[in-house]
Every structure is written in structure tokens, then in C-alpha cells.
């Protein structure tokens, strides 16, 4: 009997994330170039639940999602950086699976409430000319004849 009471109490404490948790999450963004923090960089954060803007270093409140968060940063057409941040399930999701057999999990997946992004996102910047995949064109040689 004590076991049943303990299990019932445990199940009551592991509520649905969409009820006990928030669908919103604050995240901080910082930008770094050559191991030094760069300030004043404009960043756009995008997932399947919306789009947000922040100037680094700074914080913004975003809608949670099960999808990845794309972070694109740019400063003065000289520096760029991007990062993909993976959404991971939080503890409330596992309580739903144990307590509700999956219905709460489905709701949490649809609302994103049972998933979190890292609280701090660091984006590595690079100079525009050094962007990945950009190779400088070879210099043309001129021939002279005497």
C-alpha cells in the first residue's frame, strides 16, 4: 500500500511540461572572434515557432520547439557567424512518458514546452573574406614578350 501511495505521489509531481513548464525560454547570445568577445553584433534566431532579433551580447525570450534553432549573426558587412543549436528534451517529458503513457509527451512535442535550448549560445565569427567555402580567385599572370 505504501508503494502505491509513493508511486501516486511521484506521478503527481511529474506533471505535463505543457502545464507545469513554460513554452518560452530566455537565451543569451554572445559572439566571439579569435578568442575575443565582439559586441554590437546583430543576430537573428529562427526556429519553426518564430524569429527573434538580439544584439550581442544580449538576451532574448524565444518560443521553445522540438526543432533546431538557427542563429545567424552579422556586423557591418565585415563579420559573419552562424550556429545551429539543438533542442533537447527536459525532465518533464520523461515524467509524462512514465505517468501518462505518451499523451502528455505528444502535447509537449507539439507545443515545445518539454524541450529546451542551451541557456547561452556562443557564435564564432569570421571575417567575410574568410567565410567557409570562399577561396580567393587566383591572380592572372601577364606575359610580356621582347
Cα dist. 125→36, 51, 75 in Å? 10, 21, 9
Containing structural domain, residue 72: 2-130
- Per the domain annotation, does 136 fall within a domain? no
Distance between CA atoms of residues 24 and 63, nearest Å? 5
CATH number at residue 94: 2.60.40
- Per the domain annotation, does 144 fall within a domain? no
- Residues ≥6 apart with Cβ < 8 Å to 134: none
- Per the domain annotation, does 118 fall within a domain? yes
Provide the 10 A C-beta neighbour count for residue 69.
Answer: 23
- Per the domain annotation, does 146 fall within a domain? no
> What pLDDT, on a 0 to 100 scale, did the predictor assign at position 127?
94
Q: What is the mean pLDDT of the chain?
A: 75
Could you tell me which of 108, 83, 96 has the C-alpha nearest to residue 27?
Answer: 83
Q: How many residues does this entry show for the chain?
A: 146
How many domains does the chain fold into?
A: 1
- Per the domain annotation, does 9 fall within a domain? yes
Distance between CA atoms of residues 27 and 116, nearest Å? 10
- Per the domain annotation, does 140 fall within a domain? no
- Per the domain annotation, does 139 fall within a domain? no
Locus of grid cell 564564432: 124
pLDDT digit string, tens, across residues 84-112? 999 887 665 555 555 555 555 555 545 54
- Per the domain annotation, does 143 fall within a domain? no
Q: What is the pTM of this model?
A: 0.65
Q: Which residues of 104-132 are buried (b: 16+ CB within 10 A; e: fewer)?
A: bbebbbebbbbbbbeeebbbebeeeeeee
- For residue 16, pLDDT over 50 is answered with no
Q: Compute the average pLDDT of residues 67-82.
A: 94
Amino acid at each position: 500500500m505504501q508503494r502505491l501511495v509513493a508511486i501516486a505521489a511521484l506521478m503527481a509531481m511529474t506533471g505535463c511540461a505543457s502545464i507545469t513548464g513554460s513554452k518560452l525560454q530566455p537565451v543569451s547570445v554572445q559572439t566571439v572572434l579569435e578568442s575575443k568577445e565582439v559586441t554590437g553584433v546583430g543576430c537573428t534566431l529562427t526556429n519553426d515557432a518564430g524569429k527573434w532579433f538580439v544584439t550581442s551580447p544580449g538576451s532574448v525570450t524565444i518560443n521553445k520547439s522540438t526543432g533546431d534553432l538557427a542563429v545567424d549573426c552579422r556586423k557591418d558587412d565585415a563579420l559573419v557567424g552562424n550556429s545551429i543549436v539543438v533542442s533537447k528534451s527536459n525532465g518533464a517529458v520523461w515524467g509524462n512518458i512514465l505517468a501518462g503513457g505518451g499523451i502528455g509527451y505528444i502535447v509537449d512535442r507539439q507545443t515545445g514546452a518539454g524541450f529546451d535550448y542551451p541557456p547561452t549560445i556562443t557564435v564564432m565569427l569570421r571575417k567575410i573574406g574568410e567565410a567557409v567555402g570562399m577561396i580567393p580567385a587566383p591572380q592572372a599572370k601577364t606575359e610580356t614578350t621582347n
